[in-house]
Amino acid sequence: MTPSSSSPSVDLAPRAAADGRWSPRLVLLLIALAWPTQLLAAGGILGANATASVAQTFHTTQVVWFGLTLTLVSTLLTPFVIKLGDQYGKKRVMLAMMALGTLGEALAAVAGSFWLVLAGRAIAGFYGPFGALSFAAIRDLFPPRLVKQASGITGSSVGLVAIGSPFLAGWLVDNWGYRGVLWFLAAATAVAFVLVALLVPETPRYVSGSGFDWLGGLVLGSGLTSVVYAVGQGQSWGWSDTRTLGWLAAGAVALTAFFFVERSSDHPILDLGVLSRRPVALALTAGGLAQTVAFTMPGLAILLALYPHIPGVSAGLGWTAHHNAVVSVSWNVVMFGTGLLISRCLRTFDARKVWWAGLLVMAAGYTLVGFYHGGELELILTSCVANVGAGVVVATAPALVVGVVSRDEQGLGSGMLNMLISLFGAIFTAGAYAILTSDSTVVEDTAFYQDNGYSWIFWFGAMVTLVALLLSLFIPTLRDPVEEDAAGADADGQGMRPAPVPVAGLAPAPTTPSNAATTG
């Protein structure tokens, strides 16, 4: 049994009996956690569709900041969110994040200048790291036998979001412009706040009465943010530009300094001992790479669909946004359905073997898309193969994290996975655009991409997936939440578990068989 972190708190949220059965309360709890988690994915799609309207409204050439501001703030705050969730309870932190997200989107919606819009988006970025807490909360609140299934359903529901979001985005932008998108996001985040406030109990606190490593959080967050910013701007600045190299160097220096800061800190913001364990490092890296492909490739495929078809100039399909949304329903339904099926299979099958199979199918699918993407039927068939694999990947990735960390380390594992997805996503996107640009035609200062470039970005996705598969082969046997909780209960019954540390203002919960398994 892995030792608990420093001081697990009283159990504020006893879980239901570990019989593996769904109840109405658990279904509502899953909805309350899945809604705000998948709102992040919906917000990305809606925001991308609103970008052109923002640029035209404010006549700005800096519209890239409309999305980049939110990403940078989210990256900077993620390490703080991980620690605060363990120290004060995940529910409290989630509510604060959603309140700020609602306020930020509303401010951006009413803003009369572009820079005020960016200020609102920066505040909304506080909501960005929500996924770092939601999957950890599932580990805390669900019966052990349902943890992997609930995590899989939450992860795979991104396919359901991808089905409706393009249609919703078109309706909002066509009728109300970018303000319609921002008001919708503000309202949806407010609904998420109500769901969590009413349906989600507070989670155990795994750190109480300890200090907070503000310096370590700032150094780590600023280092990651510098790298993401440099990679995001590198394509427009040029990779040899002093600005790109300067931001990359600043990020590298900050990340190097972080390791020295954490070694000297009495209360490190991230437990480097946990992250340096081989199973954890392999699972997080492989999970980050594979999910980056699963989440990023559909957005890059939109370029193929929407760019015009001009023989000898542009090899796009020339579809309208509405036509692309209609066609993409097929593979998004496949992704969602596969994820639901796999989330149920995770209760009985080895998650590693399911994960390996999903990576193989996703790599094969994107290889096929690279060869066959010249029309509706070809793209539907090959993308459905790729999204069978993607559905497996997004449903199984949370189970990988659950299987390599203990319950009190779940917040750290989920948070690091989110940070890696952001970092890998920026690098992957920059690499894909570099591939497209290498085989493009420039007409009136506009780059149009050739078919060879489109093929290679899909093959690039397949190669990254194979790298994730290679790393995954070295992940050892995963632990099972059921067995871990049973072992914890046995240890507690024998007097082997440390006594809970009371939190100020709360009476210690009695240690009984009904709650011993949930104290960390």
Least confident of 1-15, 56-70, 103-117: 1-15
506 found inside a domain: no
Are residue 91 and residue 107 in the same domain, yes or no?
Answer: yes
In a domain, 193, yes or no: yes
Whether 487 is in a domain gets the answer: no
Q: With helix as H, strand as E and coil as C, how does 214-273 read?
A: HHHHHHHHHHHHHHHHHHHHHHHHCCCCHHHHHHHHHHHHHHHHHHHHHHHCCCCCCCHH
Query: What number of other Cβ atoms are within 10 A of residue 463's Cβ?
Result: 15
Question: Does 122 lie in the same domain as 31?
Answer: yes
Q: Which of 35-39, 119-123, 414-418 has the lowest mean pLDDT?
A: 414-418
Residue 133 and residue 277 in one domain: no
228, 374: one domain: no
Global pTM?
Answer: 0.74
Question: What is the chain's length?
Answer: 520
**C-alpha dihedral (180, 332, 30, 512), degrees to nearest 10:** -150
Q: Binning pLDDT at 50, 70 and 90, where does residue 209 land?
A: low
**Are 247 and 376 part of one and the same domain?**
no
Residue 498 inside a domain? The answer is no
pLDDT of residue 17: 46
Residue 90 has pLDDT above 70, yes or no: yes
On whether both 194 and 227 belong to a single domain, the answer is no
pLDDT of the residue at 500 = 37
Are 154 and 222 part of one and the same domain? Answer: no
Mean pLDDT, residues 127-145: 86
Task: Single out the residue of 503, 468, 450 nearest to residue 392, CA to CA.
Answer: 468
* Average pLDDT of the residues in 279-290: 93
Q: CA-CA distance, 91 to 97, in Å (whole number)?
A: 10
- Average pLDDT over the chain, rounded to an integer: 81
Q: Which of 172, 193, 212 is the last residue of a domain?
A: 212
**Is residue 61 very low, low, confident or very high in pLDDT (cuts 50, 70, 90)?**
low
Residue 263: what pLDDT?
A: 80
Domain that holds residue 232: 213-266
- Could you tell me if residue 516 is inside a domain? no
* Range of 6-10, 148-152, 489-493 with top mean pLDDT: 148-152
pLDDT (tens digit per residue) in 386-399: 999 999 998 898 88
Q: Are residues 100 and 114 in the same domain?
A: yes
The pLDDT value recorded for residue 347 is 75
Statement to judge: residues 259 and 148 lie in one domain: no
Same domain membership, residue 218 and residue 199: no
Give the CATH number for residue 360: 1.20.1250.20
Domain total of the chain: 3
Closest by CA position to 155, among listed 24, 6, 295: 295
Of the segments 29-33, 48-52, 442-446, which one has the largest average pLDDT value?
29-33
Dist. CA 161–CA 138, nearest whole Å? 20
Inter-helix orientation angle 24-58/114-124, to 10°:
160
Residues 395 and 296 occupy one common structural domain = yes
Question: Within this chain, do residues 218 and 208 fall inside the same structural domain, yes or no?
Answer: no
Q: Report if residue 488 sits inside a domain.
A: no
Residue 520 in any domain: the answer is: no
